[in-house]
Structure 1
Amino acid sequence: MDVQQSTALTRALAEVPGPLPASGVIHIVIPHTSRFTVVGNHLAQHPGLSSTAVGIAVRIQSLPPGADVGIKALAARFPEGESRIAAALRELEAHGYLQRTRIRLPGGRIVTRTVFCNQPAELLRTRTDRQPTPQPPPPAQGRVPARAPTPEPPVPQAAAAPAVPEAPGPSAAPEHQPPVPDETPAEAPAETSAPAPAPSSPPCAPPRSSRFVPPPTAPKPPPPPLPQPRELTPELHRTATALVTDLRRHAPQLALSENDVRHLAPGVAAWLEREAHPDTIRHTLTSDLPHPLRHPAKLLRHRLTSLLPPPLPGADDLALPRRRVTVTPFQTCDGCDRAFRSHAPGHCGDCRTEPARTAA
């Protein structure tokens, strides 16, 4: 099998057109027709990425959307260990190729969403291209230089001009020919005015890669306020402060400052006011922490706000609705003055049947 491969390479090498380099790599290019991935040289020859990071980036690009590209999934595929793969992923994050965010699913499970961009520099370039579009002054200044190269193509006329002066008589003709180039600049403004609408075209059709990515200067919505209890009693405040301060015993990453504890205590008091058990609050705030945890106070604020449970229903809310029983009111018989139930006044049953009997 090895002999067949080397023979095939030798035979293909003989068919390479042109002189072959004396040293270095020689490419035998066979076009791909299926199962291939386009990789840019900005990634393949990136000076700041390791070979492991480049290989993992190519691997991620070749996978379909929704494939698992976590550290454990990649470690099961490559011979490198988890620590080396994690370092390579951090390199891709630092250079803008990769972005990982942790989101909470409707069921409460936290997952990592990975976004990979094959050309991170193109995203920034498309934004900068759209910003300088409203620049009318450059065309005005560059109108003459832009059309300056146009007289250069008719170099044959310039070449013919020196040949004419050799004849003494027709020297006046070349003096009358220079006005011809003056006509070309007169047409130049008409030609330069035509490309004027060109700058307005890019904003009409922005690249798809930049249409869904907000610019870095886009205003962010303000975070929701921290929940507050209806009445912050001293006992409730003391219990909430102790619970927040005690979190570092269960998760060392949650070592908070006094200012953070004072700020988060009302949010925990709102949970306690809604009869949430302290163990439940502690488990909600310390489970599934991201690694590394850069801003513990912001994470606790987010969880206290977004996971706030509703107030417990009262006894009246849990009671089954009562069935309404319709009671027929009493009426007095017009014939015998006896009471009987009916929705309308009149005769009782006996008085209504007695005329029927007498008539019979």
Structure 2
Amino acid sequence: MDTQHDNALPPALAGIPAPVPPSGVVHLVIPHTSRFTVVGNHLAQHADLSLVAIGVGVHIQSLPAGTEVGIKALAARFPEGEVKIARALRELEAHGYLSRTRVRLTKGRVATRTVFCNQPGAVLRGGVVPVVGPAVRSTAPAPTLVREHAHVPEPVPEPTAVPEEPQPVPEPVPVPEAARPPVRLPLRTAPTQPRRPLPHPQTLTPELRQAASAFLADLRRHAEELVLSEEGVEELVPGVAAWLERDATTDVIRRALTADLPKPLKHPARLLRHRLTALLPPPLPGVHDLAQPCRAPVTPFQTCDGCERAFRSHDPGHCRDCRAQYWEAA
């Protein structure tokens, strides 16, 4: 038996004026007479903003002036979390909808002033920004709003609907855009680890220095990306000398430094410094380190003179059982 679900929309769809699209969304437009916000399609249908950023932008635009819209305040209101909300606010800043500046208050206090612009494109075209004032809630009938922003047929408003008296709108005062530069929040990054020092040989002899310098200058013959300056060669000489001191051949060092080079290679000296440090082989073990470990002395087997059983002892004679019998007889 099929389960019936109560649905109030199908009866209301009959009142939608034709033509009705064969597929896709169908707009059921009910006129707003109060508590609505005009949102431009440039924000609601922005091609580069994420859905979270569009939702945060619409929410901020619908709030009255003076409402807290910081990361923690929005995270307490919505389940997305501080990371997603912070990313959404940075997106709105990058596209001109949001501006956050640090201002100094009385008694040395510092606060963040947040300004939301509902039409950043108009600001760019006019070169001025409007004065910061209270949020304006439109009370005009919904048919004009729907025709301008949603592109659906205009519904006939109810004759008894009386719109509320609109609030006064402050006159825009031209203010240079450079007077309130946007403030970018720093990205949260993991703390950088200190760079490991370049290895050095125990003694940098003139022979080692000459061999390492010639090896580094010759690298560009084997990999044209590894063109080093004289200063870069001089800096990397101790690292190559440390490899040579540990009996690494030039072929081994060359393969370690030229294998799988990134494309393009912007900083060859930094790459070589990293590989000389991270891939440094350990010193070769000596002859005594490779010798077989000495085994503990093993007690040899002896044949018992009485029962001819084998037993371990350094001296020939009788086993433990035979010695016990001889002691009892004695």
TM-score bracket, normalised by the shorter chain, equals 0.3 to 0.5
Bigger fraction of residues in helix: 1
TM-score by length of 2: 0.41
**With structure 1 as the length reference, what TM-score do the two structures score?**
0.38
- Structure showing greater relative contact order (alpha-carbon pairs closer than 8 Å, 6 or more residues apart): 2
